Every structure is written in C-alpha cells, then in structure tokens.
A and B are shown apart, each in its own frame.
Chain A
Amino acid sequence: MSSREKILSTIKNNQPEFAEVPEIKKFAPFFNDACEKFVEVFKSVGGKPFVVKTQEEIILLIHEHFPDAKRIVSSCKEISSIADDYTITDDPHSFENVDLFVIESKLAVAENGAVWINDNDIMIRALPFIAAHLAVIIHKQNIAATMHDAYNKIADMEYGFATFISGPSKTADIEQALVLGAHGPKTMTAFILND
C-alpha cells in the first residue's frame, strides 16, 4: 500500500463523526469610516498613507518622497510618465535594483491595513518583494471593512498567486525591537484616490 493510501485510510478510520461547516455570520464593522480606519491601521503597521485627489498629486508625492529613486517600475497608467513598464517574460532577478515599484490594488482592507495584489495585475510575482520601496494606488471605494468582506469579493477569483500586503516587510526577532525592511521593501506607501 502506498503512503497515500495508508495515510488516507488511517484518517478515514480515525476521523470523528461528521460535523457541519459553521456559518460565518455578517459582523458589523467595529468602526464607522473604512477609509479613516485604513489610514489609521496602515500607519500603525509602518505604512505611509496619503489621501489624494488626482494622479498628478501622486506623481508629485513620488518625486517628493523618493528623490533619489533611479529605477521606478510600474504598469500603472497613472504614473507611466515617470516609470518603466515591464513584461511577464522579464527575468524576476533583473528587478534586483528596483528602487520603487508602484501598483494599483483593487481591494484594500480597513481593519488590518492590507492591500490585495495578484499576478493578473503584477505579472512578475517577485516585484512587490524585491523592490526597495513599494507604493500602492487604491481607489477609496475599494476599501473593504473586514477580511470577511474582502474574501466575499475574491472568493471565486482566478489567479496563480495573490497576496495581502500590510505595510513594509518587518521583523522584531532581535529582542522584540521592530525593524522595518527585513527582506522585502523598507517602506510602503499608499495613495488613496478620493476622486
């Protein structure tokens, strides 16, 4: 008998009587304004949020906050004037020297400051991790209150890879001292478009 058969038959013999899948009831958000909450939590996880009205503002803020950025990469049309585009066939290793990667996220979560990114949009999975700095453009109306609301939206979404990102990469492994920029981006900026 193969290990597969052996494992599955032992499990089948040993598993308890069937228990139903519980229902997840609808919880009312524990805050009033999703955008406000997102801004508050995103700051608390080490992120830098900006509520903006136009894409010109985004470009100005990028110039202001990343004056030394030599290589800015993005496929967003909003900032195509200042960023290099890329294709799905590029070698992920070739992005090792990217200073800033900018992406639009179509779903953010207020309760934990996370943004949803998937490979239909970013194409190169390594990009949000390998870049020194990460910036995300979010339309205000795309901020969901809780993770339940978020998963209701993406329950049937097709993708190969997707991730929730909440702030810059971080560690507190050395004596619980929080350090931003462990292996991934050292900063994460969110431009919330209130248009």
Chain B
Amino acid sequence: MERTGHHPQLAEHFNRDEPRVNWHDETLWFIRSKRDKIANTIPEWEELREIASQLKNNVLSNLSEYLIAFEKNATRNGVNVHWAADAKEHNEIVHSILQKHGVTKMVKSKSMLTEECHMNEYLEAHGVEVIDSDLGESIVQLAKEPPSHIVLPCIHWKKEEIGELFQKHLGTPAGNADPQFLTNAARLHLREKFLTRKVALTGVNFAIAETGEFVVCTNEGNADMGVHLADVHIASMGIEKIIPQRKHLGVFLRLLARSATGQPVTAYSSHFKKPRIGQEMHIVIVDNGRSRQLGRKEFRNSLKCIRCAACFNTCPVYRRSGGHSYHTAIAGPIGSILAPNLDMKQYADLPFASTLCGSCSNVCPVKIDIHDQLYKWRQVLVKEGYVPAAKKVAMKGMNNILSKPSLYRTAGKTGRWFLNHLPFFVKNKFNPWYKQREMPEAPKQSFGEWYRKRKV
C-alpha cells in the first residue's frame, strides 16, 4: 500500500474513487449514529463522561505511584512485569520471551501498541511468525496492510475484495462474498492456530493498580481463545492504561463499547489477574514517548484516551480521507495529537488534517479537548519550523495583509477583480485551495465599500 507522502497527497489518492469515499463516509457515520442512539438511552451519560475524565486526571497526576502499585500487585499475583522505554525495547522483550521458550509462532489479538512498535515486522525479521486473530486484523494482515481504524481495522475493504483475498489465501470458492460464509472460513482457519500456538499476545484495555489485574475487551473472543490455550500469555500495555480500582471499570466499561460501536458492552470483558496453573504470564509496560507527552501541559490530556475511536467515526476529514492517509498506527483526530509527540517532523501534517469543527471533542468519552489540541499543535509545529514552506509563506503573506488595512483593501479588490474578470487565474489546478473546493462568487464591492457608501 501507499505509505509515502503526507495527509493531503494520501487523501487525494483515496479520493480518486468518489463512490468509494461516499460509501466509507456513510459506513462510519452509521456507526457514529449508533453511538448517539445508545448514549441517549443513558440519562447519566454526560455525568459518566465527566467522572471518566476526572478519573483519568487523577491517573495522570499519580501515574508513577499507580504504576509502582500495579507492578507490586501483579508480581504478587505471579505475573512477570517488564518495562520498555521505547518500541525497540518492547520488541526485544517479546522476542526474548519467545526465544526462552524456543517458540517461533505466536498468535496475537488486537493491540494497537504493537502496531505502534511495528512488532510484527520486527519479529518476522527475526524468524517469528505472528498471526493476527481479530478478523479485521487478519484481513489486513493477509493483504499486507496496516489497520486503517483502531476498532474496525478493515473498514476500508469491500466484502467482494475480502472474498477474493480469502480465495487466494484460504482457498474459499471464487465469487463468494457473503460475510457469514467468509467469517466462518476465518474461524476454521484461525481455530487451528489457537489450538497449536504456545504463546499468545494481547493488548490491555485497562490495568488496575489496586489489584494488579488487567482487562481485555473483544467481541470475537479471540484474545481469550489465544490466551487460555497457550502456555505463555504476553500482554503489552502503554503506561497510561492504569486505572485506580476495580470498581472504576464500571465507569469505563459503560462508556467504551457504547462510544465505539453503539453496543451496550463488548461481548467479552476479560479480567486477567493470575496465570492459570502451569501457565506463564508477562506484562510489558511501554513508555515510547508517553512520559514525554505527560510533560507537555497542552497535550497531556491525549493520554486519557481509551481507544474507542468515536472521534474517528465522527470526523468529517477521517471519514473522507481514510485511515491510511494518516500514515501512523493510530489515525484520526486522536492519532493526530499523539503522533507529533513521537516525531514532529514526520507527523507535522496531521494536526492540519482537521476542520477544527470540534465534533471529536463532543463525542470523546473521557472529554479530551481534541480539537483544541490540534489547534495548539499547529502553533507549536509552525514555531518549531516543521510546516511545509508553501504553507508558511502563505501564512506569512496573510499575516502581512491582515495586519495592514490599506494592503488588505487593495488585496481584496484585486482578488474580486480576478474572480470576476479572469477566473482562470484562481480556478486552476495549480491553486491548492481550489482542489475539492468551489470558489465563491465574488461580490461587486466589499463590505467596507458598501458601508462607506450606504445612505444613512
């Protein structure tokens, strides 16, 4: 797949097929509508969002203590706790556990953290086969693509294309694109993996400081199928997954699935506390830039995220540009405020991939001020010099014009004259603003001119 270029180029590529963009847009809006419908049935919905947000404030303010408590309690439960400063160390730790057991095949349930760490690529380069077991993830894995959405990894794929993919890789009959049939084919294919793999890796949705246990939410049951049949369970978690007490799950589990897919709760909310008899359990606690983001006052709220993707589904830009146009593991509005923390140069385009309409902040179950942070990142990125030269020149030019009234009046007049007399100068493909936009009809006179001439 195309992963070079920045958001505007990648979005343009996605927009070449207009009916497909419309289909993508409508599919995601359908999920957003389901979220609204179910949220509206809970009278205390807004209070829940507020409590969740405050709980996360507490977590961020006391994170070092909570992590120490979590480590102590998990260790007491018989779990091996590892710390990884960055993606490389995370991958090395996972690999060392596999090596210790002499295992070269592993089954994995959904973990966006391992996507962020590019763990599959790392392990494959070291001779380890990783099988993604979430249906959507297994589809994009067969297609050698990254997920385009954190909850719905293959939301950009049509069933006919999945039918062809399965025909090629799983030997299903040509022309069969029935979701029920294809899901069953994947079930049979993956069941054999679950039954034979010795190591299973999962992500972590919530880690409880008080008890040292962690919770993994799935609809398919793939995390549980992998883990309960494997000799070794590895769980990868970002430092921000901590919550104080078990009872706080009541708040987060009420919000998560309703915000994500409009379901009352995921089919499975599994609480892992101790390894089963004879099993070995590992938790890898990963920083990878999160502690740095915690120190950025303006942006630390992004660490409250519980990865529901409600902000993706509601975002007019995400819906019309597709997840791959964000060229990072976590796309969408939240990804656009997380990514510049990892690499300002590489992801300088993402905070600009937004209309700043604020819909993301309105649906966020933990009330992250996403659109404000996007706006603030733009300022940081311009100051730090990471914004493309053309945008910078245009911004400087606008600043010059808007700060000098006489220049502003002349520029306005010139612009109107060109739009009325020589529209080609503005309406051409060399004007980036004209792409996918209609230029306005230019009025004969400006508001200023009308105001001065008006009869009192």
Per DSSP, chain A at the interface is: loop
Which of the residues B57, B135, B224 comes within 8 Å of A174, measured between beta carbons? B135
Do B291 and A16 touch across chains, with their CB atoms under 8 A apart? Answer: no
B358 to chain A minimum Cβ distance, whole angstroms, is 24
Do A169 and B220 touch across chains, with their CB atoms under 8 A apart? Answer: yes
Contact partners of B244 in chain A: CB under 8 A: 21
Q: How many residues of B contact A (CB 8 A)?
A: 92
- Contacts A112-B264, A155-B247; A19 near B159 (Cβ below 8 A): no
Alpha-carbon distance A41/B250, docked complex (angstroms): 17
Q: Does any Cβ of A come within 8 Å of B179's Cβ?
A: yes
CB within 8 Å of A: which of B130-175? 133-136, 139, 152-155, 157-159, 162
Query: Which one, A50-58, A59-67, A70-78, A142-150, is touching chain B?
Result: A142-150
Binary A-proximity of B273-312 (CB < 8 A = 1, otherwise 0): 1111100000001010001101101001000000000000
Contact partners of B157 in chain A: CB under 8 A: 174-175
Contact partners of B58 in chain A: CB under 8 A: 19-22
Per DSSP, chain B at the interface is: helix
Q: Quick one: closest B residue to A185, CB to CB? A: B221
Q: Quick one: closest A residue to B254, CB to CB? A: A147
Q: Does any Cβ of A come within 8 Å of B61's Cβ?
A: yes
Alpha-carbon distance A174/B228, docked complex (angstroms): 26
Do A184 and B229 touch across chains, with their CB atoms under 8 A apart? Answer: no
Binary B-proximity of A155-186 (CB < 8 A = 1, otherwise 0): 10001111111111111111111010111110
Identify the 7 closest CB pairs spanning chains A and B, nearest first.
A184-B221, A14-B295, A182-B220, A112-B264, A173-B136, A126-B228, A160-B274
Which of the residues B31, B154, B272, B294 comes within 8 Å of A14, measured between beta carbons? B294
Binary B-proximity of A1-33 (CB < 8 A = 1, otherwise 0): 011101110111111111111101101001000
Query: Which one, B5-13, B188-196, B335-343, B434-442, is touching chain A?
Result: B188-196
Do B228 and A125 touch across chains, with their CB atoms under 8 A apart? Answer: yes
Q: Does any Cβ of A come within 8 Å of B263's Cβ?
A: yes
CB pairs A–B below 8 angstroms (5 shown):
A8-B67, A111-B264, A165-B267, A174-B182, A175-B159
B: residues with CB less than 8 A from A are: 27, 30-31, 41-44, 47, 50-51, 54-55, 57-58, 60-64, 67-68, 77, 83-85, 89, 133-136, 139, 152-155, 157-159, 162, 179-180, 182-184, 187, 190-191, 194-195, 219-222, 224-225, 228-229, 239, 244-251, 253-254, 261, 263-277, 285, 287, 291-292, 294-295, 297, 300
Which of the residues A20, A109, A128, A152 comes within 8 Å of B247, measured between beta carbons? A152
Alpha-carbon distance A16/B301, docked complex (angstroms): 11
A-B contacts at CB below 8 angstroms, number: 249
Contact partners of B180 in chain A: CB under 8 A: 177, 179
Do B84 and A179 touch across chains, with their CB atoms under 8 A apart? Answer: no
Q: Does any Cβ of B come within 8 Å of A69's Cβ?
A: no
Which of the residues B41, B50, B89, B265 comes within 8 Å of A164, measured between beta carbons? B265
Q: Does any Cβ of B come within 8 Å of A49's Cβ?
A: no
Alpha-carbon distance A24/B50, docked complex (angstroms): 10
Do A92 and B224 touch across chains, with their CB atoms under 8 A apart? Answer: no
Q: Quick one: closest A residue to B83, CB to CB? A: A4
Contact partners of B190 in chain A: CB under 8 A: 183
Q: Quick one: closest B residue to A27, CB to CB? A: B44
Which of the residues B162, B248, B251, B270 comes within 8 Å of A163, measured between beta carbons? B270
Alpha-carbon distance A155/B246, docked complex (angstroms): 6
CB within 8 Å of B: which of A87-123? 88, 92-93, 96, 109, 111-114, 119
B224 to chain A minimum Cβ distance, whole angstroms, is 4
